[in-house]
Amino acid sequence: MVKKVLIGLLMVSVASVWGAQDPERPKHYNTLRKKIDVPTVRTYKGPESKSVVVSEDFESGEFPPNGWVQYRTGCMEGPGWQLTDSESHSGSYSVYHDDDNVSNDNEDWLVTPAITIPSGAMGAYISFYTMTEYAPWATNYRGIWVSAGSPDPADGDYAELIDLSDSSWYSWSQVTFDLSQFAGQTIYIAFRYVGDFDDEWYIDDVEIESGTPATPDVLVVDDEPYGFGQFFAYYLYNNGYTFDYFDVPDSGRGPSLNEMQGYKAVIWTTGGEYWSNNVVVDEYVDTIQAYIDNGGHFWFSSQDYLYWISENIPSWLPINDYVYDAYTNGDYDVSGVTGSSIGEGLSFSVSQNYAYNYIDALTPSLGAQAEFATGGSAVAVSYNGSKGGKVFFNAFVFANIVPEEMMDSLLVRVMNYFGISPHPEFYNAGIEWARAEDVWEDAAVNIDARVDNLSPQG
């Protein structure tokens, strides 16, 4: 069926936002950037622990494939789920449900063979490639259902795992869902489609795996209302590092010590301007100190923090004193300090892309290392704690670094300093993500991925 529709690109407007400021100082924020969308992979399986329980690429040319069954509980007009060679992620075939124009709703279930999730398995996942047409605006219902009893929906044993009705993929994209709750059980998984002349849903390369999960290496704590932490999330993903994302405004709190201790490193950012009623870092000074004392590695990225708390610098911040806060009406150059662990040989400009520049010049404390400087003053510092923890602090806006490749370079340098390696095997090499310049421009942007908050409210 052909639908004639006008599909409008999602346009994300850039709205002017002003941060709270000292009456004698210019407003800090020029604009509110569009938030980028990158995936937070919440659990990882090392290759040595991965066990493939089901793998189906539909290349046998038979439908349904061996062991699979289609159940039809709605209108019987139309073919329901079917094999197609018109679209595929790999090989020649995929399965799909057409937008059949029938007299009443189709309700069709494409059901996997029986799947036994090993008892004691700490991680189990279903992943598949999917694509849609005319979604979500024409969607009635699409979802994944699980039965730990009968494979036949008429017996009433199915429960919804995830409702995908609001999702759309206009090119092949891989999605993954957790099945860990079914460890020790034999289950059936159904792709359930409901509709009458609604959307089209394509499925290919279905895999069900079990394994032992490992905690991601890095926790990104976004402690400000404008989404600056997503820059760190983007560049961590761009370089293959494993991470979780903690959105403080969405959570209504910061991470606990117990939550932080599960990560090798924590990146905590207050973005382009510290303002006490916008952030919670002041309430977590002791928690951060305990994390570092327990061997954690802590990257604190905060322009303006020293300006506001210069009389009460926390002990975990390796600063002897705050020198000055100077507004710069334009870009400024930052250079790595010779002999430094992170900065040596690295130089870049800091623009006013997303926040006005206020240089928080500082003097490192005894035993700390100045890493970057501008105008003869240090603006970033590192410190190796006596108990194994490490700290890196930059007093400029990470998101304002240009050229943008230097964000990659700085992030990799800091991760190397922390002793953290990338894990490209955890990422789908077939997905090409837009680089930052494609995301930040004031243009139509639609990336089929997302950042999940690690600890939402409620």
Residue 304 is predicted with a pLDDT of 79
Looking at the chain, the number of H-run helices and the number of E-run strands are 7, 26
148 φ/ψ sector (left φ>0, alpha ψ -120 to 50, else beta): alpha
Q: What is the DSSP letter of 36?
A: P
Beta bridge partners of residue 204, listed in sequence order: 129
Give the predicted TM-score (pTM) of the model: 0.57
CB 246 within 8 A of CB 263: no
Q: What is the DSSP string of 96-150?
A: EE-----SS-EEEEEEPPPEEPPTT-SEEEEEEEEEEESTTTT-SEEEEEEESS-
Tell me if the bond preceding 64 is cis, omega within 30° of 0.
Answer: yes
What Cα–Cα distance (Å) separates residue 259 from each residue in 135, 272, 420, 451? 37, 25, 19, 18
Q: What is the DSSP letter of 320?
A: E
pLDDT by residue for the chain (458 residues), tens only, comes to 333 222 222 222 222 222 233 334 333 333 333 333 443 333 333 434 567 788 999 999 999 999 999 998 878 888 899 999 999 999 999 999 987 777 778 889 999 999 988 776 556 788 899 888 887 887 789 899 999 999 999 999 999 988 888 877 778 888 888 787 888 899 999 999 998 877 789 999 999 887 655 568 899 999 888 778 888 988 888 888 888 888 888 778 888 998 899 899 999 998 876 666 678 898 999 999 999 999 999 999 988 787 777 678 888 998 887 766 655 666 788 999 999 999 999 999 988 766 666 778 888 988 999 999 988 889 999 999 888 899 999 988 898 898 989 999 999 999 999 999 987 655 433 333 333 333 333 322 222 233 344 443 33
Report helix, strand or coil for 343.
coil
| H/E run at residue 411 | helix 405-418
Backbone angles phi, psi at 273, to 5 degrees: -155, 120
Backbone angles phi, psi at 58, to 5 degrees: 65, 20
Q: Which amino acid is at 223?
A: D
